[in-house]
């Protein structure tokens, strides 16, 4: 019961996040980018941090949600919330089908299957250029005002508040899920799948359900990305999207819903800061940071040993 209560710093954190576009209007666009990256990392954390499902193709759901929302806005209706719902629905449907492929096999098998699924969708989006724009991307995506009142402005403040609102709603949903008995069964499956089966947990059903939910949240991130940028491209399906989500969770830690948010803030700020000083070698410093983060427990143990 105690774990379900809000900690004192959580309302402060979200109030500061929503105040950022107003207090620092010049940082509204990067705030929007951070919110979308955090939502994508949050969706990956549901399957990796809580269910123990490794994935290198999570960008498949991001891309499908993004293209679905973009096509809907361009050809059907510009309402962003309807496009968001369609993007989530399309990604959830793909997640439900794809969950059948990750129920059996080792972690290596899952890595290859998820990566292959993302590559297949990338090639389909490239070949169906009459629908997706192919390598040129889908241009001319103009979403309407949010709730029919708040139009997207050039400064990006509406986009930032829109993305933050969706992030907060999805975070609340994910928090409710992981703190429920359903979430406890996911942790049991992650810790020992055979023991979970022995005590009567429907392992395959639980994994399929959480995979579908994670896909829907990733689709929401993709829909937000295309709606706030007005553009959908093959880059949505690219491998680096999945890799960035994994890197975000490495920085913020898995199995903790705020890990995706903290990691997204840290990664985006580090990218901007390092690129400003060494634009040619910023990837080197990010890679070095990743190595240090992976080895942080050994480094702490070494420092403790030296002090002792």
**Is 50 exceeded by the pLDDT of residue 289?**
yes
Confidence of residue 210 (pLDDT cuts 50, 70, 90): very high
Res 176: pLDDT: 92
Number of folded domains in the chain?
1
| Cβ proximity of 43 and 61 under 8 Å | yes
Handedness of CA 216, 222, 223, 225 (dihedral sign): positive
**SS3 state at 76:** coil
Backbone angles phi, psi at 151, to 5 degrees: -80, 150
**Selected residue with higher pLDDT from 105 and 190:** 190
Res 1: pLDDT: 35
Res 295: pLDDT: 65
| Domain, as residue range, for 35 | 2-277
Locus of tokens 């973009």: 70
Instruction: Give the integer Cα–Cα distance in Å for 59 and 218.
Output: 8
Instruction: Give the integer Cα–Cα distance in Å for 214 and 196.
Output: 21
Instruction: Give the integer Cα–Cα distance in Å for 121 and 95.
Output: 13
Determine what percent of the chain is predicted with pLDDT higher than 90: 30
> What would the pLDDT profile of 22-67 be if each residue is shown by its tens digit?
888 888 888 999 999 999 999 999 999 898 888 888 999 999 999 9
Confidence of residue 220 (pLDDT cuts 50, 70, 90): very high
> What would the pLDDT profile of 229-244 be if each residue is shown by its tens digit?
888 888 899 888 888 8
Measured N-to-C along each axis, helices 239-252 and 282-294 cross at an angle, to the nearest 10 degrees, of: 50
Q: Distance of CA 222 to CAs 41, 60, 90, 101, 292, Å?
A: 12, 10, 11, 22, 30
**SS3 state at 232:** strand
Q: What is the mean pLDDT of residues 242-259?
A: 86
Q: Is residue 297 part of a domain?
A: no
Report residue 188 as tokens. 């049991």
Please report, for the domain that includes residue 203, its CATH number.
1.10.3470
Going through 129-265 in order, the beta strands assigned E by DSSP cover none
Q: Is residue 296 part of a domain?
A: no
Q: Which long-range contacts (CB under 8 A, 24 or more apart) does 21-25 make?
A: 21/156, 21/157, 21/160, 21/161, 22/157, 25/155, 25/157
| Cβ proximity of 287 and 77 under 8 Å | no
The C-alpha angle with vertex 126 and arms to 75 and 227, in degrees rounded to 5, equals: 40
Instruction: Give the integer Cα–Cα distance in Å for 84 and 68.
Output: 9
CA dihedral 147, 149, 150, 153 (to 10 degrees): 130
Q: Is residue 303 part of a domain?
A: no
Q: What is the mean pLDDT of residues 254-262?
A: 87
Report residue 34 as tokens. 């951070």
Measured N-to-C along each axis, helices 28-45 and 239-252 cross at an angle, to the nearest 10 degrees, of: 90
Q: Is residue 294 part of a domain?
A: no
């Amino acid at each position: 019961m105690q774990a379900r209560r809000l900690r004192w710093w959580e309302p402060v954190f979200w109030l500061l996040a929503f105040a950022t576009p107003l207090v620092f209007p010049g940082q509204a666009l990067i705030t929007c980018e951070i919110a979308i990256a955090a939502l994508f990392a949050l969706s990956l954390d549901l399957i990796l941090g809580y269910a123990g499902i490794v994935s290198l193709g999570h960008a498949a759901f991001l891309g499908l949600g993004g293209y679905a929302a973009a096509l809907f806005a361009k050809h059907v209706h510009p309402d962003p919330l309807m496009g968001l719902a369609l993007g989530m629905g399309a990604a959830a449907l793909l997640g439900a089908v794809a969950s059948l492929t990750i129920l059996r096999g080792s972690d290596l098998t899952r890595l290859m299957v998820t990566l292959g699924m993302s590559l297949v969708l990338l090639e389909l989006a490239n070949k169906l250029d009459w629908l997706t724009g192919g390598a040129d991307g889908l241009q001319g995506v103009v979403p309407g005002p949010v709730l029919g009142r708040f139009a997207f402005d050039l400064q990006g403040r509406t986009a930032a508040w829109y993305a933050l609102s969706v992030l907060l709603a999805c975070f609340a949903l994910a928090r409710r899920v992981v703190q429920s008995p359903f979430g406890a069964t996911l942790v049991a499956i992650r810790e020992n799948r055979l023991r979970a089966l022995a005590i009567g947990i429907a392992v395959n059903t639980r994994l399929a359900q959480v995979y579908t939910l994670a896909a829907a949240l990733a689709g929401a991130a993709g829909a937000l990305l295309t709606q706030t940028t007005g553009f959908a491209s093959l880059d949505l399906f690219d491998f680096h999207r999945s890799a960035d989500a994994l890197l975000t969770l490495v920085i913020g830690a898995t199995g903790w819903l705020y890990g995706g948010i903290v990691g997204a803030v840290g990664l985006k700020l580090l990218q901007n800061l390092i690129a400003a000083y060494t634009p040619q070698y910023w990837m080197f410093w990010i890679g070095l940071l990743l190595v240090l983060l992976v080895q942080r427990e050994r480094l702490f143990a070494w420092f403790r040993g030296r002090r002792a």
